């Protein structure tokens, strides 16, 4: 076992965290369910996966039967968003349930070992689960800071197997000495294809913790660059694909999909299928020009606030508790997964700060037929956007705002700003009010 440098928290913050996690921060109550009844949470994040890069999302060439099975057994959001068009800010928002611009985590941090990461004053999803008695594990990509105080084991995770930065070789684990693959704090070198190694570790985590409530964050770096050829068994599935770049992408995605299937099989083998909430989404839209990912029929790609940069595959499954095969077009955002996961586990979120995520369960089980959000917002540097109902406002910081009706124009092809100036004014005012609550970017 490796020694673990611990960064102490302030006494008040840690006491508040414990109270919130046990249900004591919201006026008491009966507390969380007994351990044998508590819901497990498995969060699976794909990296740079495009909106159209799943079979269930309409792709003609992708083979993704296991992720597709999540949608068949759960809820697929066709207007599922992330709060950033980049990797790290999306993860910061997910881990806190808060628009990451509230605490300055607006862009990807510099590469390791630069001293930037998720601010220590933020309470993470893992910390909240850990304080509530859950086993917590992270397998895969972190991208929320590389120095010791930002390390996953100092942000609520009991176990970590993965890398700290934004990308990594799948084949040469020693290719980046500044950002090695580590188990907890200790570098590990293998010849295993990295996606397969992440799957192995995730399956191991489920098996080892099957008799206690657990939170597993499985953050694949697939299908982020580099496009490195996976084992032959994956490449052979796409023998008819002539474009080598696309063929590698499809094979890398197939490796990840097989990994999802192995984790689901482990859950079923543990007899935990009906007490496990499984969530799958991509961290941002696909960078088509870099990895051949497809965002069809959306406009734009990663690093943009067009739909192709922020609308992503987004699936939630909880056997016996949520509908199977439901397709829901109400706008939701990855911030909601923080609150939803805690609600499923009977754990209260922090109440000493703004939590932007909404508990989606009442909207999915028929309790609440309304809309989870009145308006969703984005800011990435000079770029900003807002969606209210089917209206989408986009501003690049230099030109007049553009307005689109997504109900009939999902591809954002027809700017309606001139014909509906009152909608532009309304959304610009709402966006300005939201931005007044934010802080400047930290880097």
- If residue 77 lies in a helix (H) or strand (E), which one and from where to where? strand 75-77
d(CA 105, CA 2) in angstroms, rounded, equals 30
Query: Which residue in the list 20, 87, 151, 224 is annotated as catalytic?
Result: 87
Q: What is the per-residue DSSP string for 368-394?
A: --S-S-SEEEEEETTEEEEEETTEEEE
Question: For residue range 29-54, what is the model confidence (pLDDT) as tens digits?
Answer: 445 556 568 999 999 999 999 999 99
Dihedral-angle region of residue 357 (phi above 0 means left; psi in -120 to 50 means alpha; beta otherwise): beta
Query: Which residue in the list 143, 209, 224, 373 is annotated as catalytic?
Result: 143
Question: For residue range 196-244, what is the model confidence (pLDDT) as tens digits?
Answer: 999 999 999 999 999 999 999 999 999 999 999 999 999 999 999 999 9
pLDDT of amino acid 31: 52
- If residue 359 lies in a helix (H) or strand (E), which one and from where to where? none
From first to last of its 443 residues, what are the pLDDT tens digits of the chain?
343 444 444 444 444 444 444 444 333 344 555 656 899 999 999 999 999 999 999 999 999 999 999 999 999 999 999 999 999 999 999 999 999 999 999 999 887 666 799 999 999 999 999 999 999 999 999 999 999 999 999 999 999 999 999 999 999 999 999 999 999 999 999 999 999 999 999 999 999 999 999 999 999 999 999 999 999 999 999 999 999 999 999 999 999 999 999 999 999 999 999 999 999 999 999 999 999 999 999 999 999 999 999 999 999 999 999 999 999 999 999 999 999 999 999 999 999 999 999 999 999 999 999 999 999 999 999 999 999 999 999 999 999 999 999 999 999 999 999 999 999 999 999 999 999 999 999 99
Distance of CA 264 to the CA centre of its chain: 18
How distant, in Å, are the alpha carbons of 3, 5, 181, 209, 420 from that of 184?
Answer: 9, 11, 9, 17, 54
CATH number of 375-435: 3.30.1120.10
Whether 22 is a known active-site residue: answer: no
pLDDT of amino acid 314: 98
pLDDT of amino acid 326: 97
Closest alpha carbon to 41 in 342, 325, 360: 342
How distant, in Å, are the alpha carbons of 97, 146, 349, 362 from that of 26?
Answer: 17, 34, 9, 19
- If residue 153 lies in a helix (H) or strand (E), which one and from where to where? none
pLDDT of amino acid 111: 74
- If residue 160 lies in a helix (H) or strand (E), which one and from where to where? strand 159-163
* Terminal-to-terminal C-alpha distance of the chain: 35
- CATH 3.30.1120.10, the chain: domain bounds: 375-435
How distant, in Å, are the alpha carbons of 178, 379, 435, 437 from that of 440?
Answer: 28, 11, 10, 10
Q: What are the backbone dihedrals phi and psi of residue 438, each rounded to the nearest 5 degrees, phi first?
A: -95, 170
Distance of CA 303 to the CA centre of its chain: 16
**375-380 sheet: strands from edge to edge:** 375-380, 383-388, 391-395, 402-405
Q: What are the backbone dihedrals phi and psi of residue 247, each rounded to the nearest 5 degrees, phi first?
A: -60, -45
- CATH 3.40.720.10, the chain: domain bounds: 30-364
d(CA 13, CA 9) in angstroms, rounded, equals 7
Fold of 30-364: Alkaline Phosphatase, subunit A (3.40.720)
Collapsing DSSP to helix, strand or coil, 342 comes out as helix
Closest alpha carbon to 377 in 294, 436, 318, 337: 436
Distance of CA 336 to the CA centre of its chain: 10
d(CA 288, CA 324) in angstroms, rounded, equals 31
Residue entry with tokens 């601010």: 119
Instruction: Tell me the three-class secondary structure of 173-209, residue by residue.
Output: CCCCCCCCCEECCEECCCCCCHHHHHHHHHHHHHHHC
pLDDT of amino acid 110: 82
Residue 330: count of CB within 10 angstroms of its CB: 16
């Amino acid at each position: 076992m490796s020694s673990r440098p611990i960064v102490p928290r302030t006494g008040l913050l840690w006491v508040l965290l414990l109270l919130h996690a046990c249900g004591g921060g919201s006026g008491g109550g009966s507390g969380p369910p007994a351990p044998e009844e508590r819901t497990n949470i498995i969060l699976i994040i794909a990296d740079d996966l495009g909106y159209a890069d799943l079979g269930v999302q309409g792709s003609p060439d992708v083979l993704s039967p296991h992720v597709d099975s999540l949608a068949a057994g759960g809820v697929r959001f066709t207007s599922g968003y992330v709060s950033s068009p980049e990797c790290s800010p999306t993860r910061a928002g997910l881990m806190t349930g808060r628009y990451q611009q509230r605490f300055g985590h607006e862009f990807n941090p510099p590469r390791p070992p630069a001293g930037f990461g998720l601010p220590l004053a933020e309470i993470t999803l893992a910390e909240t689960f850990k304080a509530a008695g859950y086993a917590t594990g992270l397998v895969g990509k972190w991208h929320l800071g590389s120095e010791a105080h930002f390390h996953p084991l100092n942000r609520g995770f009991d176990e970590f197997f993965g890398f700290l930065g934004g990308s990594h070789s799948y084949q040469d684990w020693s290719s980046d000495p500044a950002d090695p693959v580590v188990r907890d704090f200790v570098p590990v070198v293998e010849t295993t294809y990295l996606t397969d190694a992440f799957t192995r570790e995730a399956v191991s985590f489920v098996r080892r913790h099957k008799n206690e409530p657990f939170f597993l964050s499985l953050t694949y770096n697939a299908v982020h660059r580099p496009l490195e050829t996976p084992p032959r068994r994956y490449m052979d599935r796409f023998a008819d694909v002539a474009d080598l770049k696309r063929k590698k992408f499809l094979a890398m995605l197939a490796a990840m999909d097989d990994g999802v299937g192995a984790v689901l099989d482990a859950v079923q083998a543990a007899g935990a299928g009906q007490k496990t909430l499984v969530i799958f989404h991509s961290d941002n839209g696909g960078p088509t020009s870099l990895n051949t990912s497809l965002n069809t029929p959306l406009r734009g790609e990663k690093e943009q606030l067009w739909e192709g940069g922020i609308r992503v595959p987004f699936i939630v499954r909880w056997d016996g508790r949520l509908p199977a095969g439901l397709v829901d077009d109400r706008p939701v955002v990855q911030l909601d997964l923080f609150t939803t996961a805690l609600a499923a586990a009977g754990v209260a979120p922090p109440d000493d700060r703004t939590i932007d995520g909404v508990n989606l369960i009442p909207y999915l089980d028929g309790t609440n037929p309304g809309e989870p959000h009145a308006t969703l917002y984005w800011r990435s540097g000079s770029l900003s956007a807002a969606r209210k109902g089917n209206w989408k406002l986009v501003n690049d910081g230099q030109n007049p705002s553009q307005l689109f009706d997504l109900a009939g124009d999902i591809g954002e092809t027809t700017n309606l700003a001139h014909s509906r100036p009152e909608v532009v004014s309304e959304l610009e005012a709402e966006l300005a009010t939201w931005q007044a609550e934010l802080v400047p970017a930290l880097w």
